[in-house]
Structure 1
């Protein structure tokens, strides 16, 4: 069984969905600390030929809280976010095919940050035709006081993992020998460049999946998700 584990992000770049598509089961961390100014509740879109940030506003709270304990701001203006996307992409070739998905994602009413993000990941993955099973980290019966690599190893063993695949940053974070010692093959997923047409302007890479869906058919993205990456180790 192939497994990946990641914290949730809001409509992340295609590499995240490549990781989902590369495994049988995808565990999403809910009992992990919220990282301020990270990518958990924000991402980048194309606006007038350059990248621009969009985000989910959060209710003010302690920075020590886990993702599952944070909430969206009560005054989160869903219509405003949708209008930003509409204004930026209304003439994109796949706007009509993509915007209803964004409306469903943004209109999700649960104010809990984790559940909002988890819903968006599942809906986007379903739209892309990914068949991977999702699981929430706190629902796996392990010692959740474990940290970093020890927690990943415990999750892998609890799920009967033969192959663990991490985002490319895992090459620096984890010791592949520690996985091998538990009978688990470790690999990291490295996305290959994927330039595509963006209103005839110079390509702006690594934007949110929103941008890719606006300019590419789902069938084209299926090919990119399935094939346009390499699985590497420290060697």
Structure 2
């Protein structure tokens, strides 16, 4: 279970790949300046942050309600950064570049739809077939934090929820157990791989998953899976 991310990173793909069902947490509050509408890609000069501008209405707006601000052609910058500055000469650009560019041919109105389109693209490319459901499709939930996640888990019939390490400080495992759900910790380990435009330079971790896809190809997920059992 996780909020939708624009151009998701490998940690999120790893979580989806390890699950029997993935819940897209789209009915919770939108986080300003978070990963829900931005992520990094790798250039020869370092990380480049790509941000989708959004319409600012209320601070209480939920992710599912968030609109993309198309007043300026943000998609041209993203397209040019990916195609011209970062990945045109990547080993697998010829295989997946057209699919990535096609995302920017459409004028997206809803941020969650855009985020899921970029997520579906990399999931399909890596052959990840985990079924997904949006939390907004599961009914109304009036609780928050651990109780919310536990109720959603129980609603979909889960016996365990896979959580990232960052939630250890606030997730209450006892709340989950009261709903018959155990909490498992992801323990994500980031693999290193060749970055075509970073030869002789330090590896850049935590880039968008398209970085692994375009540099290594569909078999790149094997590196992610192997890292799970690495010492």
Residue 99 of structure 1 is matched in structure 2 by 97
Runs of 4 or more consecutive aligned structure 1 residues displaced over 6 Å after TM superposition: none
Residue 171 of structure 1 is matched in structure 2 by 168
CA contact (8 A) 2:27 2:64 kept: yes
CA contact (8 A) 1:8 1:29 kept: yes
Task: Give CA-to-partner distance per residue, 1:17-65, whole Å, 9 cap, x none.
Answer: 0000010111112211111111110001112231121111112322321
The TM-score, its normalising length taken from structure 2, stands at 0.90
Residue 190 of structure 1 is matched in structure 2 by 187
CA contact (8 A) 2:146 2:176 kept: no
Task: Give CA-to-partner distance per residue, 1:150-205, whole Å, 9 cap, x none.
Answer: 11111111111112101221222212233233322211112213112223121111
Q: In the aligned structure 1, how far is the partner of 2:44 from the partner of 2:63?
A: 33
Aligned in 2, Cα 1:50/1:108: closer, same or farther, shift over 3 Å?
A: same
> Which residue among 65, 68, 73 is the counterpart of 1:69?
65
Q: In the aligned structure 2, how far is the partner of 1:130 from the partner of 1:225?
A: 12
CA contact (8 A) 1:22 1:226 kept: no
When you count strand as a share of all residues, which structure comes out higher?
Answer: 1
Residue 76 of structure 2 is matched in structure 1 by 79
Q: In the aligned structure 2, how far is the partner of 1:165 from the partner of 1:91?
A: 36
Task: Give CA-to-partner distance per residue, 1:93-132, whole Å, 9 cap, x none.
Answer: 2221231221133334331111221222123211211111
Q: How do residues 140-159 of structure 1 correspond to structure 2 at under 5 angstroms?
A: 140-141=138-139, 143-159=140-156
**Structure 2, unaligned stretches of length 5 or more?**
none
> Which residue among 2, 14, 17 is the counterpart of 1:21?
17
Q: In the aligned structure 1, how far is the partner of 2:78 from the partner of 2:125?
A: 20
CA contact (8 A) 1:21 1:225 kept: no
- RMSD, aligned CA: 1.7
- Confirm or deny that 1:214 pairs with 2:214: yes
Q: In the aligned structure 2, how far is the partner of 1:66 from the partner of 1:81?
A: 24
Q: 1:54 is paired with a residue of what secondary structure?
A: strand
Q: 1:190 is paired with a residue of what secondary structure?
A: coil
Residue 117 of structure 2 is matched in structure 1 by 119
Q: In the aligned structure 2, how far is the partner of 1:67 from the partner of 1:229?
A: 30
The TM-score, its normalising length taken from structure 1, stands at 0.88
